Structures are given as structure tokens and as C-alpha cells.
Amino acid sequence: MTNSALPTQQDLHKLLKTHFGYDGFRPNQQEIIESICNGQDALVIMPTGGGKSMCFQLPALALDGVALVISPLIALMKDQVDALRANGIKAAYYNSTQPPEETQKVLSDLQHNALDLIYVAPESLQLLDPVLSTIKISLIAIDEAHCISSWGHDFRPAYTQLGYLKRRYPETPLVALTATADRSTQDDIAQQLSIPQAKKYISSFDRPNLYLDVRPGQKRNEQILDFLEDHPFESGIIYCLSRKSTENLAAKLKSNGHNAAAYHAGMSAEQRSKVQEDFINDTTPIICATIAFGMGIDKSNVRWVIHYNMPKNLEGYYQEIGRAGRDGLPSHTVLFYSYADTMQLRQFIDGAKNADYQMAKLDRMQQYAEALSCRRKVLINYFGEFLSQDCGNCDICKNAPAYFDGTVLTQKVLSGVARMQQKEAMGTVIDVLRGSQNAQVYDKGYQNIKTYGAAKDVSWRDLQQYVIQMINQGLLEIRFRESGRLLLTPLSKEVLYDGKKIQLAKPSKEKAKPITKERKPKKPKGSLFEKLRELRAELAREANVAAYIVFSDASLKDMEDQEPVTQKQFLDIQGVGQAKMEKYGADFLKLIKEHLKKPKPKSGSKTYLETKNLIQQGLSLEEIAETRKLTIGSVYNHLIKLHEEGMEIDFYQFIQPVEVKQVHDAILKVADPDKLKSFYEYFKEEMPYWKIRLALFLKGR
């Protein structure tokens, strides 16, 4: 903790690198952190994996006092605190599960200013009151803040008592954080926490590393087994609607040789805790769970998430799939969809509190599952972002349906919505456009507007599908709490007045879409990545922490790509700060050096002849690396060595001239042209290190 002076930008960047190992902030993080350090309240809406925790953890280091973090799940506090301690941060948690001597130690540390952060469940908060009233609280963070709102998807009554915190500590900045909250939930959170004037920070919900895949619900077990064949040794979660489904599916997977376990609310607390611990520690890589599983888990190497049944709303669905790929590496999500699931969810909702509201949310979820346009657009648009380009990383983009120029039809629909003064829901809009002669249309006089019957040649079902596509493309917005009325958006005005063209997909007559298998090259046995993973697991067992707390998969991949052999190079790896350098640097550097140790190559040596032959066969560097069981970096080194020894090599069979030019142009733009990582980050991690090296090598020739 610092003195009472406000931290500078330089202070914040130094703390970021020293404790967390990052050279720069993610979008919105710096602005949020600076506002909190300046004493301002904040409401942070940031998708899972977007870096919410950093928004209060770094100010906790920069400010004088102790940060009070309200977290909903007791079982996960230990992992969050372990991760902080691994980064050299003084953190603790306080809850009813701790033995008396441990709680006394925490209370003593609090009283003696020996902590930067204290995690506590809302139910245990009042037990800390006597101590909290005697110390300086630097900030208050309410994590998973949607739990406070009855409009949210995970309402938790204990959270409703937290409004007193701002009244008791009016000068202390309060930050509420959640991954998913629509406008109603956002307003409710701010009101209940007594921070109505808090600035809202809404980050992009785009998670481009997640592959979005919706599949027909027939033969789900067989499809899952087939999927797992393509994803061996990877961690994943399968969400099921019922407890029985989780048990049956886990048994099915185990009988087919997969290490899986069930998780649901009917299990004892001890059983649930054991399953969760085994998952976090990579002991049990596959969990078949109800929605109770996963909230707050920081496990960064979950590579896939499957929904056995359709969730009841997009907020819950997006938060659940967001548990995959938190490290930014490519990850796969699958949603099985059937009309029977929809009917079952409707029966659950019917008669419940806010049934109309929940039903409207379910309708939107169903529209996503039935979408014929880019799925990422649907998700992003739902959360208020309007993207003009398809993502290229979903099942629709990979297997595009037949499209037609739907500009005129779209104009008719948008014009109809406008002429009905944006007051009507989808059903009425469709009735009017098709010229229906029902009482509702006539009672409101809509038979007299210009667009009455403008789409009478389109069937009701097809027109409904087209309107859903328009909603999914961000041309229309639904106001759920206002009878589902349709509103125009900024994009719709471009279509009506600026001549923007719209492509619509022809509704498919077949419900089931073809399933495409994306076979990823597996890390070869004995690869550097696998060796690093084994070392990480060994160190994690010794320290009794989860493997991802030592290093994330992204850090290991960065080590494989960069092959650091000095402490300075190791500190340049993503996620390596000073604390982890001191704790783990020697072990990882030793392993990397041993992996790279090879007999000094001689001209015509067997290893170079093998690489040379594969080059002459026209294989790419990736294919050579896979064939030779080497890293691409090692193959690149072979390439340069063979060139130095006189082999004629057409380097442009491995890299495009435009890519070379891009790297050359970036030399004057990157933060540090002497560091490959500066180029890697400049190209948003989309250009591999070996290509950057090759482009710079070609520049120097």
C-alpha cells in the first residue's frame, strides 16, 4: 500500500507489471482504476474474462487502507486469494468455514494494516463490523453485483442488505461489478447500492476467441462423445437443466473412458466442494453441472463449454460460455437446441414472478438459437453493441445459409415500425405488414397506414424469421419491459435514409444444420508446451494451489513461442511479474534451456536434412513443426541456418509480401521496436512470433 498521495499513471503501470506481469491495461481498465483511485463510485459491466477483478485489485494496491471485497461464493474465495498471494499481494478471506485460529489471524492482520484486500461473503459481513469500524477502508467492491437485483438472472437476497455500505462509508469509493446486466438490472443495482450517480463503464462484450456453435438436439450424447474425441485432455463444462441429467451424462462419459463428474445442488456441500476443487486443480477435467456451477471461478484454461439444454436467457448463457477461454486462447462453445427444451422452460416460467419479463427473455434466447445470421452479432447487439461485420468464428459464418438482398423488405418493416410510432411488438407489426384484418389492427386504425399489407406476399412464419434477423443484426431493438415493443436503432436509420444494403438469410426448411468438425492440431507429446504444463502441475501440487494460479495456458503458450532463456526475457512473458519471476523463474528457465539443448548443428546433419526435405516438399512451417515434433520457433531457426549454409530458400512461400510490409511499417509505431512482444501486441496477437522474426530478418537482408 502506498501513502495517502494519489497514485500516478506511472505508479499504476509499475504495479500492473510488478504484481500481475502485464505491460498494458485492457480496454476500460485504466479509466476505471483511475476513477476509483480518485474516490469515484463506478458500475462496471465487463464480460467474463475481460479483467473485472483487476479494476479493484490494482487500486487496492495503490491506495492506503484495506479493500473490502464482497464475493458471493465462499468456496471460491480461497482460489482468488491464492492467486493474489502468488502475485505477491497481501490478501485474505473471512467466512464461516474457517477454524477459529484462522479467523483470529485474519482479524489480527486487518487490525494491524497487514492486508491489501479482504474477501467476505455478504452473509458474514456484519461479523466483521467491529473491526471494520476501526480501520481505513480504501474501497468497497461488490463482485457479481447482478445478484442484488430481482431483475438479474441470479437473484440473491443477502445482497439486498448491502445498500447500507455507501451510507456508512460515504467518502469511500464503491464499485459494483458484473459480467452481464441489461439496462433494467444496471439501474436496479445502482439504486439498491445507493450509488445512483455512479459512472457506468460498459466494456465490449465481444469475445472473439470463443467459437459459437448451435447444434440440433438430436443424439446429444453421441455428439458430445464425438466432440470430446477432438478435444482430448482439455478442461470443459457441460451445463444441464436437471440434476438427473448431470448424473446420467457423467456416468455415460465415464463409461466411455472420460474423466468426468456431476455437480448439482442436491449434493452435500462437501461433495460439491470436492468436485469443484478437483476441476480447478485439473484432476477432473470435465464437469456435468447445473447452472449452480462456475460463478466466480477464475480457472483460465477451460477450453470449451457445452449447453446440453437451452438456457432461459442470453445473460446467463453469455456468462456461462464466458467461463471458457478466459486466457484469450481459442475456445469452443456448443449449444444443443430443441423445441422440447423451449416448452419445458416455458412451463418453469409460467406463473413465476415477473413471468412476462422472463418469457420475453426466453423468446430472445430462442431467437438466438434459431438465428440464420452471425451469432456473435446477435449476442453483441443484445448487449447494446451494433457490429457491421460478421465474426467469421461461429457455425453460421462457417456454414453460411443462402442470402438475398433484403433491403426493400427491411425498409418496409422499419417503415412500419416507424409509422406505428415504435409502440408495437413483433406480432402486431407482422400482422399489419401482412394486411391482417383482425380486431387489434382495426381498433388501432393501422389498416390506414401506408405500410399496411406491404409484405402480404411473405408468409407469417417467414416474415417473423426476417424480423428476428433484423433484430439480430441490430436494426431493431426490443424493449422487454415495455410489452416487447420494437424500436428503431441508429443502423435502421442508415437503411431508411442513407441507402445501406441489407442481406437476409432464406429460412431453412430443415431444422437440423450440418455439424462441422474443427480438428485442431494437438500438442505433440514431448513438445515444449506439454513439458511446461507438466512442470506447472508439479509446482501447483507442491504449493497446494490450482495449476492456473502458477501460470495460465496463455503464459505457457507465450513461453513456447518466445523461448526465453534469461530472466529479462522471462519477465517479458505475458503474466510474469516480479513475484512469479522470483518464485518460478528458475524452474521454468531451466526446463526451457534443457529443451533447447541440442548438438551443435553441422552442415548436412540429419536433423537439418529432415527439415530441408520437408521445405523442398512445400510444407508450411506449422506442418513441418507438427511432423518433426518441434516448436515453430525451432523450425524457423532451422530455416535461417539452412539459408546461412547456402540453401536457396524462397522465404515468401512462408510469408506474404504484404505481411512483411506490415511489420516494416510497424517499426515506427510499436512501443519498443527492440522487443518482439511489442510487435505481437501491435498486431493484436494475430501474427505469430516467427512471422515477425522472419519479416524483420528479410528487412535486414
Answer whether 667's CB lies under 8 Å from 673's CB: yes
Cα 633 to Cα 574, 587, 637: the distances in Å are 17, 21, 6
| Spatial separation of the C-alpha atoms in residues 88 and 490, rounded to whole Å | 47
Write out pLDDT tens, residues 121-180. 888 888 888 899 899 999 999 998 888 876 555 556 778 889 899 999 999 999 999 887
| Best mean pLDDT range from 35-44, 48-57, 394-403 | 35-44
pLDDT value for 294? 64
Percentage of the residues of the chain whose pLDDT score is greater than 70: 92
Q: Does 3 score more than 60 pLDDT? A: no
Amino acid at site 390: D
514 — pLDDT class (breaks 50, 70, 90): very low
pLDDT value for 678? 79
Q: Mean pLDDT throughout 500-519?
A: 61
Write out pLDDT tens, residues 545-554. 888 889 988 8
pLDDT value for 526? 67
pLDDT value for 140? 96
Neighbours of 5 (CB within 10 A): 8
Count of residues in the chain: 701
Question: What's the chain's average pLDDT?
Answer: 86
Query: 141: closest CA among 63, 221, 55, 257?
Result: 55
Q: Does 389 score more than 90 pLDDT? A: no
Q: Mean pLDDT throughout 626-655?
A: 79
Q: Does 39 score more than 70 pLDDT? A: yes
Q: Does 346 score more than 90 pLDDT? A: no
Q: Does 219 score more than 80 pLDDT? A: yes
Q: Mean pLDDT throughout 265-275?
A: 87
Q: Does 517 score more than 50 pLDDT? A: no
Write out pLDDT tens, residues 426-472. 999 999 999 999 998 999 999 999 999 999 999 998 998 899 889 87
Query: 97: closest CA among 127, 68, 67?
Result: 127
Query: 143: closest CA among 172, 125, 121?
Result: 121
Q: Mean pLDDT throughout 685-690?
A: 81
Q: Mean pLDDT throughout 340-351?
A: 79
Neighbours of 207 (CB within 10 A): 24
pLDDT value for 90? 95
pLDDT value for 284? 94
Of 212-226, 231-245, 681-695, the one with minimum mean pLDDT is 681-695
**Strand pairing report for 199-202 and 260-263:** unpaired
